[in-house]
Amino acid sequence: MPGFEQAGRVLLIVGVLLIVVGLFLTFGSKIPLLGRLPGDLHIQRGRFSLFLPLASSLLVSIILTVLLNVILRLFRK
């Protein structure tokens, strides 16, 4: 059945992405620079605190984009 082949690929990609997210959540706190890069903003005023991880978010986005593109190119062949 032709529909099952496509569904199998989608499930495989979702599984790989879940593994990557799980590894990131498990070992993310052990990455030394994540959250402390020069573009990450931390503002404290009295009892108010604001943390904007701009550079860390950009870095994670680039890494995940490259990883997803590699995975998708492997499944196209």
Averages of pLDDT over runs of 10 residues in the chain (77 residues) are: 77 88 84 85 95 92 89 78
CB-CB contact of 59 with 40 (8 Å): no
Sequence-distant (≥ 6) Cβ neighbours of residue 43 within 8 angstroms: 49, 50, 51, 52
For residue 41, give its domain range: 2-76
What is the reported pLDDT for 2?
A: 65
Structural domain count of the chain: 1
What is the reported pLDDT for 50?
A: 95
What is the reported pLDDT for 24?
A: 80
pLDDT digits (tens, 9 = 90+) for 40-56: 999 999 999 999 999 99
